[in-house]
């Protein structure tokens, strides 16, 4: 059967169950869009208003659905605009296929109009990428692209296709069987039984163990296993930022998040533990604080699907390269019913004495309090997508996540502007759930042009701008570490309500606590997107905090100035 390159690509999307893609057309990928015209019944193309939004939306879609997210951009500026989103997906191991157009083959290397070395630019921020020089290669490349993106340690891939290759007609009957001799992720799924036994022995010998749950729990879908393991071994569970919503936070063994803005009792617990059972996390510097002083008394069991993560940042006592699900199952079988109640009690005592998540009674609107209201008003059922900075940390801290995989954030890359487009992707993946985008006034202005997208498609995303009229985290750092020399921290903001209205959307502002409650309740009832300008105190800092270069033991609980302000 004769098929064009573009048709082969779209057939492949359909075959892989892709029904929503996010993209932006341009000269070099017009043939792909022309083919899409005939696939509209099978593939829903969402026209974003900037390619970065396409990458973020595909990322959000992938995280929320467990499937591969797909984004499309043209050559040159199209692909360079994708880079931030793809780099974020790479840092956070999110399966995304980026389809990018390229100048025709005869112009390659001639500095043609809108030519960029697209595979060169994307190389360090993708798991793999291809420049496809013949349409005959496309069936194989597309198959490999989906396979590589969504197996092993997941990640984004890019398929760069010259304009004339989209148009090239070739004989195509069936997709060739996968055969990539340098890539065998299925070999690394089952844990080595000897290592599991070793790990179990180490666990039995521990009095103060901690489970550190990371992003891998979500990717492996090892929620039941984590819960059963924690309960059988009676071990406190502490999560990384990406581990949030992998373990029910109302559980007696849950102690929230660790790291730079982790709970003080969680940080102390990790600092004083004699064993860390690290599941699908990678000891990022935001987690460990000063590495030399990280968990100095602890032995470390590290389970990860990526062999290169074992021993990369910390030395491990037992390193297991495997999928978490079978590994935790094997661990459960290997260990007996354990009791660590004195240790659990100790951490509970710390929590009682140092309640990191207590919110001060104030008249003024505190951002933490706003997050807590969102939690209450949505009965904790919202799916939360956060941006980067203060609002991100408050959303991680003060919304309590009991439901699985309901917290999405740009973690590794920390890309401002992520939350809003990502929340569009999340909503497409989970149309029946409430999606709340919690974002700062700074981050929102990085990608707000997609307001046109939520209007056009009535994408029901609740946009809660935690508006302190500042780049809050910048202000916080300048306050703490630069003697309050505020440089480019204050934002002269537009009227977000009018802005929403200009896009034909509902906008609401709240400046008092009673207004906040009213606005949130109203927004929750409106069946469609809403922009909420929630004006909060501009001075409030995120605590607890581990200053950069300090250890978890040196976590700062708060500051007296802040405490005294509304006392």
Q: Which sequence positions are flagged as catalytic?
A: 51, 113-114, 163, 473
Nearest Cα residue to 229 out of 262, 197, 201, 203: 203
Q: Does the protein bind other proteins through residue 120 (CB under 8 A)?
A: yes
- Separation between Cα atoms, residue 234 and residue 327, nearest integer Å: 18
CA distances from 6 to 33, 68, 129, 472, 556 (A): 8, 19, 18, 45, 56
- Separation between Cα atoms, residue 107 and residue 133, nearest integer Å: 12
Q: Does the protein bind other proteins through residue 311 (CB under 8 A)?
A: yes
Q: How far is the CB of 309 from other proteins (least distance, A)?
A: 9
Q: Does the protein bind other proteins through residue 127 (CB under 8 A)?
A: yes
Exactly one of 112, 221, 307, 326 binds other proteins (CB under 8 A); that residue is 307
| 376: three-class secondary structure by DSSP | helix
Q: How far is the CB of 321 from other proteins (least distance, A)?
A: 6
Residue ranges of the alpha helices (H) in 354-398? 367-377, 390-398
Of 119 and 373, the one with the shorter C-beta distance to other proteins is 119
Exactly one of 2, 174, 182, 549 binds other proteins (CB under 8 A); that residue is 182
Of 128 and 261, the one with the shorter C-beta distance to other proteins is 128
Q: Does the protein bind other proteins through residue 306 (CB under 8 A)?
A: yes
Of 312 and 430, the one with the shorter C-beta distance to other proteins is 312
Q: How far is the CB of 190 from other proteins (least distance, A)?
A: 12
Those residues whose C-beta lies under 8 Å from the C-beta of residue 274, and which sit 6 or more positions away, are 206, 207, 208, 209, 297, 298, 299
Among residue numbers 315 through 334, which ones bind other proteins (CB under 8 A)? 315-319, 321
Q: How far is the CB of 145 from other proteins (least distance, A)?
A: 11
Q: How many residues does the chain have?
A: 567
* Candidate ranges 311-319, 348-356, 520-528, 548-556; the one touching other proteins (CB under 8 A): 311-319
Q: What is the DSSP letter of 127?
A: S
Of 126 and 423, the one with the shorter C-beta distance to other proteins is 126
Q: Does the protein bind other proteins through residue 15 (CB under 8 A)?
A: no
- Separation between Cα atoms, residue 444 and residue 494, nearest integer Å: 11
x/- mask, other proteins, residues 338-377, rule CB under 8 A, reads ----------------------------------------
Exactly one of 52, 74, 93, 119 binds other proteins (CB under 8 A); that residue is 119
The sign of the CA dihedral 316, 321, 325, 328 is negative
The long-range contacts involving 191-195, CB below 8 angstroms and separated by at least 24 positions, are 191/303, 191/320, 191/322, 191/326, 191/327, 191/330, 192/320, 192/322, 193/330, 195/318, 195/319, 195/320
Of 123 and 548, the one with the shorter C-beta distance to other proteins is 123
Q: How many CB atoms lie within 10 A of CB 216?
A: 28
Exactly one of 39, 43, 115, 183 binds other proteins (CB under 8 A); that residue is 183
Q: 122 with 98: CB under 8 angstroms?
A: yes
Say how many residues touch other proteins, by CB under 8 A: 27
CA distances from 264 to 352, 425, 556 (A): 11, 33, 8
Q: Does the protein bind other proteins through residue 121 (CB under 8 A)?
A: no
- Separation between Cα atoms, residue 86 and residue 405, nearest integer Å: 21
- Furthest CA-CA distance within the chain: 76
Q: Does the protein bind other proteins through residue 310 (CB under 8 A)?
A: yes
Q: How far is the CB of 122 from other proteins (least distance, A)?
A: 11
- Separation between Cα atoms, residue 217 and residue 232, nearest integer Å: 18
The sign of the CA dihedral 279, 273, 355, 473 is negative
Exactly one of 14, 15, 178, 180 binds other proteins (CB under 8 A); that residue is 180
x/- mask, other proteins, residues 143-172, rule CB under 8 A, reads -----x----x-------------------
* Candidate ranges 303-311, 345-353, 426-434, 518-526; the one touching other proteins (CB under 8 A): 303-311
Q: Does the protein bind other proteins through residue 312 (CB under 8 A)?
A: yes
Q: How far is the CB of 282 from other proteins (least distance, A)?
A: 13
Of 141 and 424, the one with the shorter C-beta distance to other proteins is 141
Of 183 and 477, the one with the shorter C-beta distance to other proteins is 183
CA distances from 220 to 66, 197, 224, 233, 536 (A): 10, 21, 11, 20, 38
Q: How far is the CB of 123 from other proteins (least distance, A)?
A: 6
What does the block give as tokens for 291? 């590495």
What is the distance in angstroms between the CA of the first residue and the CA of the last residue of the chain?
76
Q: 56 with 422: CB under 8 angstroms?
A: yes
* Candidate ranges 125-133, 259-267, 382-390, 463-471; the one touching other proteins (CB under 8 A): 125-133
x/- mask, other proteins, residues 269-288, rule CB under 8 A, reads --------------------
* Candidate ranges 88-96, 107-115, 124-132, 420-428; the one touching other proteins (CB under 8 A): 124-132
Those residues whose C-beta lies under 8 Å from the C-beta of residue 59, and which sit 6 or more positions away, are 69, 85, 88, 89, 92, 94, 96, 418, 422, 425
List interacting residues with other proteins (CB under 8 A).
119-120, 123-124, 127-128, 131, 148, 153, 180-183, 187-188, 306-308, 310-312, 315-319, 321
């Amino acid at each position: 059967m004769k098929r064009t390159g573009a048709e082969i690509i779209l057939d492949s999307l359909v075959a892989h169950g892709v029904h929503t893609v996010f993209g932006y057309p341009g000269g070099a990928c017009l043939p792909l869009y022309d083919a899409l015209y005939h696939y509209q019944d099978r593939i829903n193309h969402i026209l974003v208003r900037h390619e970065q939004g396409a990458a973020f939306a595909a990322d959000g879609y992938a995280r929320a659905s467990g499937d591969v997210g797909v984004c499309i951009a043209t050559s040159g500026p199209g692909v360079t605009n994708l880079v931030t989103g793809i780099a974020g997906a790479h840092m956070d191991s999110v399966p995304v296929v980026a389809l990018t157009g390229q100048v025709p083959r005869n112009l390659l290397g001639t500095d043609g109009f809108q030519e960029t070395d697209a595979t060169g630019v994307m190389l360090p921020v993708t798991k793999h990428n291809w420049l496809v020089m013949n349409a005959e290669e496309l069936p194989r490349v597309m198959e490999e692209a989906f396979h590589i993106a969504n197996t092993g340690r997941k990640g984004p891939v890019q398929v760069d296709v010259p304009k004339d290759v989209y148009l090239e007609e070739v004989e195509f009957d069936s997709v060739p069987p996968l055969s990539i001799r340098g890539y065998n992720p299925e070999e690394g799924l089952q844990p080595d039984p000897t290592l599991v036994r070793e790990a179990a022995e180490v666990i039995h010998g521990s009095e103060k163990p901690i489970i550190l749950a990371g992003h891998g729990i979500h990717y492996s879908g090892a929620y039941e296993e984590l819960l059963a393991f924690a309960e059988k071994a009676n071990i406190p569970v502490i999560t990384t930022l990406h581990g949030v919503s992998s373990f029910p936070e109302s559980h007696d063994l849950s102690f929230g998040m660790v790291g730079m803005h982790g709970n003080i009792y969680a940080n102390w617990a990790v600092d004083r533990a004699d064993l860390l059972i690290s599941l699908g996390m990678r000891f990022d510097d935001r987690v460990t604080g000063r590495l030399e002083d990280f968990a100095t008394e602890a032995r470390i069991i590290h389970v990860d699907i990526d062999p290169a993560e074992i021993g990369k940042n910390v030395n491990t006592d037992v390193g297991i390269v495997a999928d978490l699900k079978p590994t935790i199952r094997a661990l459960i079988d290997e260990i007996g019913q354990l009791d660590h109640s004195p240790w659990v009690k100790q951490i509970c005592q710390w929590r009682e004495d140092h309640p990191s998540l207590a919110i001060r009674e104030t008249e003024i609107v505190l951002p933490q309090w706003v997050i807590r209201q969102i939690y209450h008003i949505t009965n904790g059922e919202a799916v939360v997508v956060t941006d980067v900075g203060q609002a991100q940390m408050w959303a991680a801290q003060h919304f309590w996540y009991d439901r699985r995989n309901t917290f999405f954030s740009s973690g590794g890359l920390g890309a401002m502007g992520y939350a809003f487009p990502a929340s569009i992707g999340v909503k497409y993946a989970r149309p029946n759930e409430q999606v709340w985008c919690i974002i700062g006034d700074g981050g929102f202005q990085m990608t707000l042009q997609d307001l046109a997208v939520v209007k056009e498609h009535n994408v029901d995303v609740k946009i809660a701008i935690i508006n302190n009229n500042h780049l809050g985290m910048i202000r916080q750092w300048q306050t703490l570490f630069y003697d309050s020399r505020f440089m480019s921290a204050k934002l002269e903001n537009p009227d977000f309500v009018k802005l929403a209205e200009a896009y034909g959307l509902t906008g609401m502002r709240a400046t008092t606590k009673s207004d906040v409650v009213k606005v949130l309740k109203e927004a929750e009832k409106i069946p469609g997107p809403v922009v909420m300008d929630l004006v909060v105190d501009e001075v409030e800092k995120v605590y607890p905090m581990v200053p950069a270069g300090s250890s978890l033991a040196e976590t700062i609980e708060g500051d007296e100035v802040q405490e005294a302000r509304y006392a």
